[in-house]
A and B are shown apart, each in its own frame.
Chain A
Amino acid sequence: MVQGTDALYTWSLTDLARGLKDGEFSSRELTESLLRRIDDHQQRLNAFITVTADAALQRADAADKARANGDESLLNGLPIVYKDLFCTKGVLTTCGSRILANFVSPYDATVVERISAAGAVMLGKTNMDEFAMGSSNETSYYGPVTNPWNKKLSPGGSSGGSAAAVAARIVPAATGTDTGGSIRQPAALTGTVGLKPTYGRVSRFGMVAFASSLDQAGVITRSAEDAALLLGVMAGYDKRDSTSVDHPVPDYVAGLSKPVKGLKIGIVRQHFDEGLAAGCEERVKAALAVLKEEGATLIEVDLPNIDLSVPTYYVVAPAECSSNLSRFDGVRFGHRADNPENLLDLYCRTRSEGFGAEVQRRIMTGTYVLSAGYYDAYYLKAQKVRQLISQDFKKAFENVDVIAGPTAPTTAFAIGEKTDDPITMYLNDIYTIGANLAGLPGISVPCGFADGLPVGLQLVGPHFAEETILACAHQYQQLTDWHAQGPEEFS
Chain B
Amino acid sequence: MNDNWEVVIGLEIHTQLATKSKIFSGASTAYGAEANTQACLIDLGYPGVLPVLNGEVVRMAVKFGLAVGATVAKRSVFARKNYFYPDLPKGYQISQYELPIVENGELTIRDEDGREKRIGITRAHLEEDAGKSVHEGFGQATGIDLNRAGTPLLEIVSEPDLRSAKQAITYMRKIHSIVRYLGICDGNMQEGSFRCDANVSVRPRGQEKLGTRTEIKNLNSFRFIEKAINFEIERQIEVLEGGGDVVLETRLYDSDKDETRAMRSKEEANDYRYFPDPDLLPVELDEDFIEYVRKSLPELPDAKLGRFVEQYKLKPADAEILTLSRALADYFEEVAENTEAAVQVAANWVIGELAAALNSEGIEISDSKIEAAALAGLLNRIADNTISGKIAKEIFDAMWSGEGGADDIIEAKGLKQITDASAIEKIVDAVIEANPGQVAEYRGGKDKLLGFFVGRVMQESGGKANPGQVNEILKKKLSDG
Which residues of A lie under 8 Å from residue B373 when comparing CB positions?
A: none
B275, A205: Cβ atoms under 8 Å?
Answer: no
Q: A105 contacts which of B47, B84, B279 (Cβ < 8 Å)?
A: B47
Describe B's contact surface by its main secondary structure: loop
A208, B48: Cβ atoms under 8 Å?
Answer: yes
Answer whether residue B51 sits at the interface, using C-beta atoms and an 8 A cutoff: yes
A95, B275: Cβ atoms under 8 Å?
Answer: no
Smallest CB gap from B146: residue in A:
A332
Smallest CB gap from B39: residue in A:
A332
Which residues of A lie under 8 Å from residue B49 when comparing CB positions?
A: 205-206
Mark contacts of A344-360 with chain B using CB atoms, 8 A cut-off: 1 yes-contact digit, 0 otherwise: 00010000000000000
**Closest approach, in angstroms, between the C-beta of B346 and any C-beta of chain A?**
51
| Additional 19 contacts, C-beta under 8 A, given A205-B49, A207-B48 | A95-B47, A100-B47, A106-B46, A109-B48, A206-B49, A208-B47, A209-B279, A212-B279, A242-B51, A242-B281, A322-B82, A325-B91, A326-B91, A327-B90, A329-B86, A332-B44, A332-B45, A332-B89, A334-B47
Answer whether residue A364 sits at the interface, using C-beta atoms and an 8 A cutoff: no
Answer whether residue A490 sits at the interface, using C-beta atoms and an 8 A cutoff: no
B275, A370: Cβ atoms under 8 Å?
Answer: yes
B90, A326: Cβ atoms under 8 Å?
Answer: yes
> Which of A8-16, A53-61, A371-379, A428-436 participates in binding chain B?
A371-379
**B window 29-62: CB within 8 A of A:** 41, 44-53
A319 in contact with B275 given A105-B48, A242-B53, A243-B281 (CB within 8 Å): yes
Q: B50 contacts which of A93, A205, A323, A332 (Cβ < 8 Å)?
A: A205
Which residues of A lie under 8 Å from residue B413 when comparing CB positions?
A: none
Which residues of B lie under 8 Å from residue A95 when comparing CB positions?
A: 47
Q: B47 contacts which of A243, A322, A333, A371 (Cβ < 8 Å)?
A: A333
B278, A320: Cβ atoms under 8 Å?
Answer: yes
**Closest approach, in angstroms, between the C-beta of A326 and any C-beta of chain B?**
2
Q: A485 to B29, alpha carbons, bound, how many Å?
A: 58
Highest count of chain B CB atoms <10 Å: which of A204, A211, A329: A329
Answer whether residue B115 sits at the interface, using C-beta atoms and an 8 A cutoff: no
Answer whether residue B180 sits at the interface, using C-beta atoms and an 8 A cutoff: no
**Closest approach, in angstroms, between the C-beta of A9 and any C-beta of chain B?**
30
**Closest approach, in angstroms, between the C-beta of B284 and any C-beta of chain A?**
12
**B window 236-274: CB within 8 A of A:** 271, 273-274
Answer whether residue A240 sits at the interface, using C-beta atoms and an 8 A cutoff: yes
**A window 196-211: CB within 8 A of B:** 204-209, 211
Q: A333 to B46, alpha carbons, bound, how many Å?
A: 8
Which residues of A lie under 8 Å from residue B45 when comparing CB positions?
A: 327, 332
Q: A319 to B79, alpha carbons, bound, how many Å?
A: 13
A242, B90: Cβ atoms under 8 Å?
Answer: no
Q: A379 contacts which of B53, B275, B280 (Cβ < 8 Å)?
A: B275
Q: A326 to B92, alpha carbons, bound, how many Å?
A: 7
**A window 300-322: CB within 8 A of B:** 319-320, 322
Answer whether residue A87 sits at the interface, using C-beta atoms and an 8 A cutoff: yes
Mark contacts of B49-77 with chain A using CB atoms, 8 A cut-off: 1 yes-contact digit, 0 otherwise: 11111000000000000000000000000
Which residues of A lie under 8 Å from residue B82 when comparing CB positions?
A: 322-323, 326, 370
Q: List 27 A-B contacts (CB under 8 A).
A: A95-B47, A106-B41, A106-B46, A107-B46, A205-B48, A205-B49, A206-B49, A208-B47, A209-B47, A239-B52, A240-B52, A241-B50, A243-B278, A323-B91, A327-B45, A327-B91, A329-B86, A329-B91, A332-B44, A332-B89, A333-B47, A343-B86, A347-B84, A370-B82, A370-B275, A371-B271, A379-B275
Smallest CB gap from B42: residue in A:
A240
Q: A14 to B65, alpha carbons, bound, how many Å?
A: 57
Which residues of A lie under 8 Å from residue B314 when comparing CB positions?
A: none
Which residues of A lie under 8 Å from residue B51 when comparing CB positions?
A: 242
Answer whether residue A367 sits at the interface, using C-beta atoms and an 8 A cutoff: yes
Answer whether residue B290 sits at the interface, using C-beta atoms and an 8 A cutoff: no
B53, A370: Cβ atoms under 8 Å?
Answer: no
Q: What 3 pairs across the A-B complex have the smallest Cβ distances?
A: A326-B91, A370-B273, A213-B278
B41, A107: Cβ atoms under 8 Å?
Answer: yes
Mark contacts of A230-253 with chain B using CB atoms, 8 A cut-off: 1 yes-contact digit, 0 otherwise: 000000000111110000000000
Q: A242 contacts which of B46, B144, B280 (Cβ < 8 Å)?
A: B280
Q: A333 to B86, alpha carbons, bound, how many Å?
A: 12
Answer whether residue A426 sits at the interface, using C-beta atoms and an 8 A cutoff: no
A212 in contact with B278 given A239-B52, A332-B45, A367-B273 (CB within 8 Å): yes
Which residues of A lie under 8 Å from residue B195 when comparing CB positions?
A: none
How many A residues touch B, CB cutoff 8 Å? 46
Which residues of B lie under 8 Å from residue A272 when comparing CB positions?
A: none
Which residues of B lie under 8 Å from residue A299 when comparing CB positions?
A: none
**Closest approach, in angstroms, between the C-beta of A135 and any C-beta of chain B?**
22
**Closest approach, in angstroms, between the C-beta of A339 and any C-beta of chain B?**
12
**Closest approach, in angstroms, between the C-beta of B402 and any C-beta of chain A?**
49
Answer whether residue B80 sits at the interface, using C-beta atoms and an 8 A cutoff: yes
**Closest approach, in angstroms, between the C-beta of A294 and any C-beta of chain B?**
40
Answer whether residue A413 sits at the interface, using C-beta atoms and an 8 A cutoff: no
Mark contacts of B168-186 with chain A using CB atoms, 8 A cut-off: 1 yes-contact digit, 0 otherwise: 0000000000000000000
Which residues of B lie under 8 Å from residue A328 when comparing CB positions?
A: 47
Q: A347 to B83, alpha carbons, bound, how many Å?
A: 12
Which residues of B lie under 8 Å from residue A241 when comparing CB positions?
A: 50, 52
Q: A332 to B45, alpha carbons, bound, how many Å?
A: 9
Which residues of A lie under 8 Å from residue B275 when comparing CB positions?
A: 319, 323, 370, 375, 379
**Closest approach, in angstroms, between the C-beta of A317 and any C-beta of chain B?**
11
Mark contacts of A58-99 with chain B using CB atoms, 8 A cut-off: 1 yes-contact digit, 0 otherwise: 000000000000000000000000000111000001010000
Q: A93 to B281, alpha carbons, bound, how many Å?
A: 28
Q: A319 to B46, alpha carbons, bound, how many Å?
A: 20
Q: A319 to B275, alpha carbons, bound, how many Å?
A: 9
B47, A242: Cβ atoms under 8 Å?
Answer: no
Which residues of A lie under 8 Å from residue B53 when comparing CB positions?
A: 242
**Closest approach, in angstroms, between the C-beta of B49 and any C-beta of chain A?**
7
**B window 71-105: CB within 8 A of A:** 80, 82, 84, 86, 89-92
Smallest CB gap from A131: residue in B:
B47
Answer whether residue A103 sits at the interface, using C-beta atoms and an 8 A cutoff: yes
Q: A243 to B82, alpha carbons, bound, how many Å?
A: 21
Which residues of B lie under 8 Å from residue A85 when comparing CB positions?
A: 48
Which residues of A lie under 8 Å from residue B279 when comparing CB positions?
A: 209, 212, 242-243
Answer whether residue A254 sits at the interface, using C-beta atoms and an 8 A cutoff: no
Answer whether residue A423 sits at the interface, using C-beta atoms and an 8 A cutoff: no
**Closest approach, in angstroms, between the C-beta of A380 and any C-beta of chain B?**
9
**Closest approach, in angstroms, between the C-beta of B475 and any C-beta of chain A?**
81
**Closest approach, in angstroms, between the C-beta of B374 and any C-beta of chain A?**
48
**Closest approach, in angstroms, between the C-beta of B411 and any C-beta of chain A?**
62
Which residues of B lie under 8 Å from residue A239 when comparing CB positions?
A: 52
Q: A338 to B285, alpha carbons, bound, how many Å?
A: 49
B48, A206: Cβ atoms under 8 Å?
Answer: yes
Answer whether residue A7 sits at the interface, using C-beta atoms and an 8 A cutoff: no
Q: A239 to B84, alpha carbons, bound, how many Å?
A: 29
Q: A213 to B275, alpha carbons, bound, how many Å?
A: 12
Q: A333 to B144, alpha carbons, bound, how many Å?
A: 13
Answer whether residue A331 sits at the interface, using C-beta atoms and an 8 A cutoff: yes
Q: A87 to B42, alpha carbons, bound, how many Å?
A: 14
Smallest CB gap from A203: residue in B:
B50
Q: A211 to B41, alpha carbons, bound, how many Å?
A: 20
Which residues of B lie under 8 Å from residue A207 when comparing CB positions?
A: 48
B47, A323: Cβ atoms under 8 Å?
Answer: no
B47, A103: Cβ atoms under 8 Å?
Answer: yes
Mark contacts of B398-440 with chain A using CB atoms, 8 A cut-off: 1 yes-contact digit, 0 otherwise: 0000000000000000000000000000000000000000000
**Closest approach, in angstroms, between the C-beta of A159 and any C-beta of chain B?**
16
Q: A240 to B279, alpha carbons, bound, how many Å?
A: 11
Q: A212 to B84, alpha carbons, bound, how many Å?
A: 20
**Closest approach, in angstroms, between the C-beta of A437 and any C-beta of chain B?**
13
**Closest approach, in angstroms, between the C-beta of A276 and any C-beta of chain B?**
31
Which residues of B lie under 8 Å from residue A323 when comparing CB positions?
A: 80, 82, 91-92, 273, 275
**B window 2-44: CB within 8 A of A:** 41, 44
**A window 208-236: CB within 8 A of B:** 208-209, 211-213
A209, B48: Cβ atoms under 8 Å?
Answer: yes
Q: A320 to B277, alpha carbons, bound, how many Å?
A: 9
